[in-house]
Structure 1
Amino acid sequence: MAKFTDYNLRSEIYEALTALHFKEPTAVQAKLIPVILQGHSVVGQSQTGSGKTHTFLIPIFQQYDAENQNVQAVITTPSRELAQQIYEAAKQLGSTFSESDQPRISLYVGGMDKSRQIHQLKNKQPQIVIGTPGRIKDLYQAGELDIHTASTLVVDEADMTLDLGFLPDVDAIASAMPEDLKMHVFSATIPQKLQPFLKKYLSNPVIEEIPSETVIAPTIKNILVGTKGESKDTLVYNLLTMGNPYLALVFANTKKRAHELTKSLRSRGLKVAEIHGGIQPRERKRTMQQIQHLDYQYVVATDLAARGIDIPGVSLIINDGIPTELEFFIHRVGRTGRNGMSGTAITIYNPDEENRVQMVENMGVKFEPMTYAHGELKSGYDRRRRQKRAKTTAKLDPTMIGMVKKKKKRVKPGYKRQIKNNIARDAKYKKRVEERETLRAAKKAKKRSHGK
């Protein structure tokens, strides 16, 4: 098994990893850190929570040159929250360097004071740049940020960058950099539309797809609960309050639904944080800091949080329905049960979402069916049991099918027993008819033989 000590890193990096309690590299780290350190460009496909951030940060800090005062590395990511998260991780790694050698790390995202950023850039350029593609591109095109000196470009969450329409900005950034640029692309998926970009900038990259051992981590208890006519608002509240989760994260499919659910839970007395794209950046940043400081026990969010925010200590995930984009289901549930810790993920579904539940199961996800009653979750039934039973039930003739349907419409006490009795009588009648037909045929045959 690989160890970080195998990589012959700077003592400052080992000190920082010790403070993080990182002992052994994750699968993606073990595969790609040595390759990046050897000077290769890479494409790493790995699921959320697999350790991608330190996969590219560790080599950047290993190759960092304190005497070079120019921009040395640029890291782009599609969301402000994820940029902030990477920035904090980078600051932690840099904190162990001596005061004179500490790298200058700057964060550039939309929503921050651009004029202040420009003023700071006129005084001194950062050595490591982290931010959203649009803001980094704007500062470069304004002639303020000198990214043309960088030797490394990291494109994090490339599929999300593509989906949100930021790839042209990343293209503009990459085109401003040296021809011998080392580019590292990390993504949970590599869609076909991303291929032209990869071919344009990457020459013979090392491509690694890190498969998950299971679709859902074995540390996660993955539960499915039907509404059974109960409102989702009430069911979400009951599930949140039946225990005492360390930190519970509730996912809604839309900003409108997230706001409605937050309002409902607050009206019932819960202190709830609300995180989605409709919240102003400054307020969102403040709320995230409060969550990190454990000022909130309950958080309602859209899928922005599934891909862009890494909140440690999430012990309970509740899906307020199946996500519109099915792949987000894995990202949502993956927010809990991390680093070997146990976690619970509960997915609530309406009867009309049955097909979508089946589609999630077709991805390899296995649910434990349960029902909520009297303040607790109890083992439920296989919702497909009727389908399975139908396959093994004896086929009835049209007459009996009509009889069964007629009885079902009446729904009187004991109708099931009556149907069984009717089926038995019908079978007995058919047997008698068959016996009579056999007897008649035998008599006719006997007469014909006598006539001869």
Structure 2
Amino acid sequence: MAKFTDYNLRPEIYQALKAIHFNQPTPVQERMIPVILQGRSVVGQSQTGSGKTHAFLIPIFEKINVESSTVQTIITTPSRELAMQIQLAAKQIAQQFPEDHQPKIGYYVGGTDKSRQASQLEHGQPQLVIGTPGRILDLYKNGALNIHTAHSLVIDEADMTLDGGFLPDVDAIAGALPADLQMMVFSATIPQKLQPFLKKYLNNPIVEEIPSQTVIANTIENLLVGTKGKSKDEVVYNLLTMGNPYMALVFTNTKERAKELAGYLRKQGLKVAEIHGNIQPRERKRTMAAIQRLDYQYVVATDLAARGIDIPGVDLVINDGIPSELEFFVHRVGRTGRNGQPGTAITIYNPDEEDRVAAVEKMGIEFQPRNYSQGELKEGIDRRRRVQRNRSTVKLDPTMIGMVKKKKKHVKPGYKRQIKKAIAKDARFKKRVADREELRANRKAKKQAADKVRGK
């Protein structure tokens, strides 16, 4: 089993790892850190919560030249929240360096003061750039950010970058960098539409797909709770307050629902933070900072927060229903049970959501049924316990269907036998018809073949 000490890193990095209680590398870190340290370009595919962020941050800080006041590495992310999370993780490592030699980190995302950022860049360039592709590209085009000196580029959550329409901006950034660029692409999935971009910039990269033992981490207890006639608002409140979670994250499918649920929970006396698209960027930034400081115990969010954002200490995730895009279920649940720690995920469903639950199960995800009763969750009965009786696969025509229905209405001795005989008779008739049609077709084909021969 690999250890971080196997990599012969700077003392400052070991101090940082100790501070965040990283005792040994995760599988993606174990495979990626050595090859990134060698300067190779990489494509890393791994499930959410697997430690991708430190898989690239550790070698970046190992190789950073604190004596050079130039941009050396660029990290692009598809969302402001993810950029903030990476920035916080990077700062945590940078702070372990001597005060007069701390790497300078530039954080550039949309919704912030661009002119102020440009003015600050006049006084010096950062060694590490973290931000969203659009803002980084804007600052470069304006002549404020000198990205052309960078020798490495990280594209984090590449599939989200593609889905969000940010790939052209990333392409423009990559095109401005040196030809011997080291590119690091990390993602939960590698879509086919991403392949042309990868072929354009990656020359013989190391490709690592880190398979998960299960669809979701085995440290997560995945529970399913029905509403049993209660409102989802009430069920969510009961689940949040039946214990005392360190940090609980509740996911909703829409911004409107997030606002509605957060309002209900506040009326019940809970201090709740909201993260969704209707929250203005500055307010969202303040909220995220407050969450990082653990000012909130309960957070209601849309899927905006389901990818990439590492809210510390989440030990309870509640799904206020099944997400419309099923893949987000895994990303939601992956907010807990991180770094080998235990976590609980609870999905609430109404009777009319049975099909959605079944669709999640088809992904290979298993639920443990639970019932909420008297302030605690008790063992539930598997909703799939009723085995459907086998039905005849013979397709009946309308006449036969009518006969069956008629026989069922007027029950007489031997009616089941009569129905079976009628079905068999109908099947024999249809077979004879099919045989005659096949015979005619064969004769027609032979005649056409003979006509062609005579025509020659």
Q: TM-score range by the shorter chain?
A: 0.7 to 0.9
1:322 is matched with: 322
Distance 2:353 2:75 in 1: 39
2:77 is matched with: 77
List per-residue Cα deviations over 1:357-383 (Å, max 9, x = no partner): 111111110001122233322222221
Contact 2:51 2:339 in 1 (8 A): no
Distance 1:82 1:384 in 2: 39
Q: What is the TM-score when the length of structure 1 is the normalising length? A: 0.86
- Tell me if 1:378 matches 2:378: yes
2:389 is matched with: 390
Contact 2:50 2:339 in 1 (8 A): no
The amino acid that maps onto 1:54 is H
Distance 2:73 2:407 in 1: 73
The amino acid that maps onto 1:219 is T
Distance 1:51 1:298 in 2: 24
Post-superposition shift, 1:403? 11
2:91 is matched with: 91
Distance 2:276 2:308 in 1: 11
Post-superposition shift, 1:345? 0.7
The amino acid that maps onto 1:6 is D
The amino acid that maps onto 2:389 is A
Alignment of 1:141-290 (within 5 A): 141-290=141-290
List per-residue Cα deviations over 1:426-445 (Å, max 9, x = no partner): 69x99xxxxxxxxxxxxxxx
1:305 is matched with: 305
Alignment of 1:341-380 (within 5 A): 341-380=341-380
2:5 is matched with: 5
The amino acid that maps onto 1:334 is G
Post-superposition shift, 1:389? 4.6
Distance 2:376 2:14 in 1: 46
Contact 2:275 2:302 in 1 (8 A): yes
Secondary structure (helix, strand or coil) at the match of 1:130 reads strand
List per-residue Cα deviations over 1:37-83 (Å, max 9, x = no partner): 11110000011111111111111111111222211000001111111
Secondary structure (helix, strand or coil) at the match of 1:266 reads helix
Distance 2:266 2:211 in 1: 40
Secondary structure (helix, strand or coil) at the match of 2:138 reads helix
The amino acid that maps onto 1:255 is K
The amino acid that maps onto 1:199 is K
Distance 1:328 1:130 in 2: 25
The aligned length equals 411
Distance 1:7 1:251 in 2: 38
Distance 1:303 1:279 in 2: 14
Post-superposition shift, 1:230? 2.0
List per-residue Cα deviations over 1:385-416 (Å, max 9, x = no partner): 22x152499xxxx99x979988xxxxxxxxxx
1:132 is matched with: 132
Secondary structure (helix, strand or coil) at the match of 2:107 reads strand
Residues 20 and 269 (structure 1), Cα distance of their counterparts in 2 relative to 1, 3 Å cut: closer
The amino acid that maps onto 2:370 is M
Post-superposition shift, 1:270? 1.7
What residue ranges of structure 2 are gaps of 5+ in the alignment?
Answer: 393-400, 418-456
Distance 2:201 2:218 in 1: 38
List per-residue Cα deviations over 1:268-300 (Å, max 9, x = no partner): 222111111210111111111222222211110
Contact 2:16 2:93 in 1 (8 A): yes
Distance 1:292 1:404 in 2: 69
Distance 1:230 1:404 in 2: 42
- Tell me if 1:17 matches 2:17: yes
Secondary structure (helix, strand or coil) at the match of 1:284 reads helix
Q: What is the TM-score when the length of structure 2 is the normalising length? A: 0.85
Secondary structure (helix, strand or coil) at the match of 1:208 reads strand
What is the percentage of aligned positions where both structures have the same residue?
71
Distance 2:181 2:218 in 1: 39
Secondary structure (helix, strand or coil) at the match of 1:23 reads coil
Residues 245 and 391 (structure 1), Cα distance of their counterparts in 2 relative to 1, 3 Å cut: farther
Post-superposition shift, 1:99? 2.7
Distance 2:76 2:379 in 1: 45
Residues 404 and 51 (structure 1), Cα distance of their counterparts in 2 relative to 1, 3 Å cut: farther
2:119 is matched with: 119
Secondary structure (helix, strand or coil) at the match of 1:307 reads coil
Secondary structure (helix, strand or coil) at the match of 1:100 reads helix
Post-superposition shift, 1:119? 0.8
Contact 2:153 2:183 in 1 (8 A): yes
The amino acid that maps onto 1:359 is A
List per-residue Cα deviations over 1:219-241 (Å, max 9, x = no partner): 21111112233221111112112
What residue ranges of structure 1 are gaps of 5+ in the alignment?
Answer: 407-421, 431-452
Distance 2:299 2:408 in 1: 48
Distance 1:370 1:278 in 2: 33
Distance 1:426 1:336 in 2: 62
Distance 2:237 2:163 in 1: 33
- Tell me if 1:104 matches 2:104: yes
Post-superposition shift, 1:109? 0.9
Which range moved further: 166-175 or 145-154? 166-175
Secondary structure (helix, strand or coil) at the match of 2:264 reads helix
List per-residue Cα deviations over 1:182-205 (Å, max 9, x = no partner): 100000000111111111111111
Secondary structure (helix, strand or coil) at the match of 2:122 reads helix
Which range moved further: 11-20 or 37-46? 11-20
Which range moved further: 150-159 or 253-262? 253-262
Residues 36 and 385 (structure 1), Cα distance of their counterparts in 2 relative to 1, 3 Å cut: same
Alignment of 1:400-411 (within 5 A): none
Residues 110 and 389 (structure 1), Cα distance of their counterparts in 2 relative to 1, 3 Å cut: same
Distance 2:233 2:405 in 1: 41
